Chain A
C-alpha cells in the first residue's frame, strides 16, 4: 500500500523540531509581551516622575517660617488702633516696635532697624487684630505670638532665596539675611508645621505666609455633595429607564446619541450654561458651591449614565427571566435583582465622574469661583452651599498664576491635598463596591 499523496503532504518537520513559521509566531508573541512590559514601564516611569516632582515641589508648602515673640498690647494701643481706618497696620506697627526694642535689649551683634523688621515680618496685623478682638481679656497680658515671616525669609530657609541670587529690593536686602541668621540662632525665627496652609483661606498676593487651602477644600466638598446628590439619582434613574423600560424607537435613539455627544462636550460650555441659566435666569448666588455643583452635575451626568447603562446591560438576562418567571413585576425585577448586581459598575462610573468633576476648573471660571475668594469657612451647613467659596483646582490655578514665588509651592502643596481628597473618595468607593459585589 503506497500512499504517495500522504507522503507528499505529510509535514517534513516533527513536533520536536521547530520550523520557521512557528519560530516567527513565537517571536511575535515574545515581542508583543515585551511591548506590553515596555508600555507599563513607561507608564510607571511617568507616574513616578509626576509623584516625585509633586511631592518635591509641594512638601515645602507644609512648613512655614515663623517669628515667635512675646508681646503685650495695652488697652490704649488697642483703642487707638481700633479708631484708625487701616487698623491692622497699626497693630503690626505696635508689634514691630515691641520686637525692635526687645532685640535692642538682647544685644544682637547685627544692626537692627525698623525697616528691616518690617521687611522680615510678613503681614502680621490681621492675625494680631483677630486674636485681640476674640480675646479682649488678654489685652495688657503678655502673649506669645507665632507670626508668619515674610515670603523671602521663608524662601531663604527653603532654598528659594540665597545670598547669591538675592537682589536688593524693597522686599528684602542682603543685610536683612544677617539679621535673619542672628534671629534664627537666637531661636526667635524657626520653622514649624504649616497648619495655616491646611486650615486657612486664601490670602492677598503680598501674603503667601497666610494662604491656606482649607476653605476651598470645604468648597469642593459642598460641590461634590451637590454633584453626588443630584447626578447619582438622576443618572441612575435615566439609565434604568433607558435600559429597562424605554421602547426602542427614534426618540430613544436620538436621546442615546445625544447623551454620548454631551459626554464629549468641552467643560467650559457647561460654565457658560451655568452663568446664563443658574445665575442670570434663576438668580442663584454667584461664586457659590451650589451653582458650581449644579454646573458640574450637568457635566457629570452623561459620564455617569453611559457606564451605568453598560453595567445594567452586563447583568445576565437569565436573572431578569428568573425574577419575571417567579412572578416579580418589572419594577421589582429591576430594583430587587438587576440594580444590586449592577451597583459595582455604576459606582465605578460614579467615581470616574466625580473625580473628573473634582478636578475641573474651566466651568468654574465663568461662575465666579476662580479668583480671590477668601471668605473663610461658611457659617453653617446651608451657608456652605450658598456662601461664596472657591474650589481646590480653582485655588491651585489662582496660586500658580501669582507673581510671588511663595505661592508656587502652595500650588504644588494644594495638588497634594487635592490628590489626598481624591484618593479618600476612591477608597470609599472601592469599599462600597466590595460590599455590593456579587458573583454569578
Chain B
C-alpha cells in the first residue's frame, strides 16, 4: 500500500472539491419551531419544482440569525428562520458584514400552550397570575412582596389541584422563552401587583421589569434547552408537572397530553388566529435579497412558502399546526415586490 499515493489522491480530491463552486441548493438555518414548517415546504418544493430540496438546519432563532448575518455569498445561509422578530442589534450586526437588504416574511402564528399528562391531575384553567405565583422567586403574599412560599398549586388558587408545583419551561436560548416571559410571566407580574410593589420598593422601571421575568431556582421551575420531545419526556416522567409546548406539537401528541386554558380561552388555531388566546407569536423567515438570482430558485421558494396552497388555512402547514396569517396576501405581495426592511 502506497501512503504517498493515498495522501496525494485525498488532497487532490479536496482541491477538486474546492473548485466545484456554485451551490445549487437553498440553505436555511434557524428556529427549531419553524423547522417543521420549513421542512414541509422544503420537501414540497423539491417535489414540485426542478430545484433540489433545500437544506434546513435547526439550532434556534438567535443562532440562525447570527449565521445569516455573517456575510453575503454562497458560503453563507440564504434564509434564517426565526420565532421572533429580528432585533435592531442583529440588523446592525448584519450590516457590518455587508448583509443589508433583508426581506422579512411572516409565515403565520404559533400558539404556546400549557399542557400536562393526559391522565394527570386536573390542570384545566390557568391565568398569567397563576403561572407567576407558581414560578416567580418573589410574589405578593398578603399585600407585600415576599419570597415565594408556595409549594402547591392550591396554595394560591383553590381551583387548581393540590399537587406540588413543577413546571418545565423553555430554556433561555429558545425563541419561545421570550413569548412565555412577555405574555405570561410579565402579565402575571403586573396582574398580581408585584410589579407595582417592586416600583414602590424603589426599583426603576427597567429593574422591576427584569426582576419580574426571573423564575425561582429551587427546582420547581426547570428550563428545557432541548426540543419539545424533551419536555414531553419530562412530563411523561412527572405526573404532576406542567409543560410549555407549541400548539402543533400538542396536536401531534393529543393522546399523551391535555391542554389547559389561559385566561379562560382554550388554545386552538381559531382562537389564536382571532387573537383571543393571549400566548401566541408570529413566525418569520428572513431572506437575503442579494442572494435572489444567485442561488437558483430562492425567490420561488419564498413565494412557494407563503402561497395560499401551502401557508393558507387549508394548506399542509395549517394541517400540521401553524395558525395561518389572515394577512397572508400582504406577505405574498411583499415577497413578490422584494420589499426589504427599512
List residues of A whose CB falls within 8 A of some B CB: 84-89, 123, 125-126, 129-130, 161, 165-167, 169-171, 203-207, 226, 229-230, 232-234, 236-237, 279-280, 282-288, 290, 294, 365, 368, 370-376, 382, 385-386, 388, 398, 400-405
A126 to B316, CA, bound (A): 13
Q: Does B334 contact A (CB under 8 A)?
A: no
Is the beta-carbon distance between B27 and A374 smaller than 8 angstroms?
no
Is the beta-carbon distance between B18 and A85 smaller than 8 angstroms?
no
Shortest CB–CB separation between residue A202 and chain B, in angstroms? 8
Known A365-B59, A370-B58: A403·B27 in contact at CB below 8 Å: no
Q: Which of B3, B13, B248, B253 contacts A233 (CB 8 A)?
A: B3
Nearest 3 interchain pairs by C-beta:
A204-B43, A86-B309, A371-B57
Determine the chain A residues whose CB is within 8 A of the CB of B77 once the complex forms. Answer: 286
Determine the chain A residues whose CB is within 8 A of the CB of B32 once the complex forms. Answer: 401
Give the contact stretch, choosing among B33-41, B126-134, B153-161, B178-186.
B33-41
A232 to B219, CA, bound (A): 49
Is the beta-carbon distance between A129 and B47 smaller than 8 angstroms?
yes
Determine the chain A residues whose CB is within 8 A of the CB of B255 once the complex forms. Answer: 161, 165-167
Is the beta-carbon distance between B39 and A204 smaller than 8 angstroms?
yes
Is the beta-carbon distance between B18 and A203 smaller than 8 angstroms?
no
Determine the chain B residues whose CB is within 8 A of the CB of A279 once the complex forms. Answer: 75
Determine the chain A residues whose CB is within 8 A of the CB of B148 once the complex forms. Answer: none
Closest to A155 in B: B255
Known A87-B48, A388-B25, A401-B226: A232·B309 in contact at CB below 8 Å: no
Q: List 14 A-B contacts (CB under 8 A).
A: A126-B47, A130-B47, A161-B255, A167-B254, A206-B36, A283-B74, A285-B23, A287-B55, A290-B14, A294-B14, A371-B35, A382-B13, A401-B226, A402-B229
Shortest CB–CB separation between residue B295 and chain A, in angstroms? 12
A169 to B251, CA, bound (A): 7
Is the beta-carbon distance between B17 and A382 smaller than 8 angstroms?
yes
Q: Does B199 contact A (CB under 8 A)?
A: no
A130 to B49, CA, bound (A): 11
A386 to B23, CA, bound (A): 10
How many contacts between A and B, using CB within 8 angstroms?
164
Q: Which of A365, A388, A404 contacts B252 (CB 8 A)?
A: A404
Shortest CB–CB separation between residue A304 and chain B, in angstroms? 13
Known A229-B10, A386-B17: A374·B42 in contact at CB below 8 Å: yes
Determine the chain B residues whose CB is within 8 A of the CB of A294 once the complex forms. Answer: 14
Determine the chain B residues whose CB is within 8 A of the CB of A130 once the complex forms. Answer: 47
Determine the chain A residues whose CB is within 8 A of the CB of B341 once the complex forms. Answer: none
Known A87-B48, A232-B6: A206·B58 in contact at CB below 8 Å: no
Q: Does B56 contact A (CB under 8 A)?
A: yes
Q: Which of B17, B29, B36, B75 contacts A402 (CB 8 A)?
A: B36
Q: Does B9 contact A (CB under 8 A)?
A: yes
Is the beta-carbon distance between B48 and A88 smaller than 8 angstroms?
yes
Known A86-B44, A280-B70, A400-B229: A371·B56 in contact at CB below 8 Å: yes
Q: Does B326 contact A (CB under 8 A)?
A: no
A87 to B44, CA, bound (A): 9
The A contact surface, by secondary structure, is loop
Q: Which of B20, B40, B310 contacts A382 (CB 8 A)?
A: B20
A294 to B58, CA, bound (A): 22
Closest to A89 in B: B309
Q: Which of A206, A280, A370, A376 contacts B40 (CB 8 A)?
A: A206
Q: Does B320 contact A (CB under 8 A)?
A: yes
Chain B CB within 10 A, most for which of A88, A236, A398: A88
Is the beta-carbon distance between A372 and B42 smaller than 8 angstroms?
yes
Instruction: Report B295-313 CB contacts with A as 1/0, cut-off 8 Å.
Output: 0000000001001011000
Excluding A206-B40, A372-B43, 8 further A-B contacts by CB distance (< 8 Å) are: A85-B304, A203-B43, A205-B35, A205-B36, A233-B6, A283-B75, A372-B38, A375-B25
Closest to A164 in B: B255
Q: Does B227 contact A (CB under 8 A)?
A: yes
Instruction: Name the interface residues of B53-109: CB closer than 8 Å to any CB of A.
Output: 53, 55-59, 70, 74-75, 77
Shortest CB–CB separation between residue A337 and chain B, in angstroms? 16
Determine the chain A residues whose CB is within 8 A of the CB of B36 once the complex forms. Answer: 204-206, 402-403
Determine the chain A residues whose CB is within 8 A of the CB of B56 once the complex forms. Answer: 371-373
Determine the chain A residues whose CB is within 8 A of the CB of B38 once the complex forms. Answer: 372
Chain B CB within 10 A, most for which of A167, A169, A382: A167
Is the beta-carbon distance between B248 and A403 smaller than 8 angstroms?
yes
Q: Does B16 contact A (CB under 8 A)?
A: yes
Is the beta-carbon distance between B75 and A86 smaller than 8 angstroms?
no
Q: Which of A166, A203, A284 contacts B17 (CB 8 A)?
A: A284
Is the beta-carbon distance between A372 and B47 smaller than 8 angstroms?
no
Instruction: Name the interface residues of B284-342: CB closer than 8 Å to any CB of A.
Output: 304, 307, 309-310, 316, 319-320
Determine the chain A residues whose CB is within 8 A of the CB of B57 once the complex forms. Answer: 287, 368, 370-372
A382 to B43, CA, bound (A): 24
Q: Which of A88, A229, A398 contacts B13 (CB 8 A)?
A: A229
Is the beta-carbon distance between A283 and B18 smaller than 8 angstroms?
yes
Determine the chain A residues whose CB is within 8 A of the CB of B43 once the complex forms. Answer: 126, 203-204, 207, 372, 374
Shortest CB–CB separation between residue A102 and chain B, in angstroms? 24
Determine the chain A residues whose CB is within 8 A of the CB of B195 once the complex forms. Answer: none
A171 to B29, CA, bound (A): 28
Is the beta-carbon distance between B53 and A374 smaller than 8 angstroms?
yes
Determine the chain A residues whose CB is within 8 A of the CB of B25 once the complex forms. Answer: 375, 388
Closest to B56 in A: A372
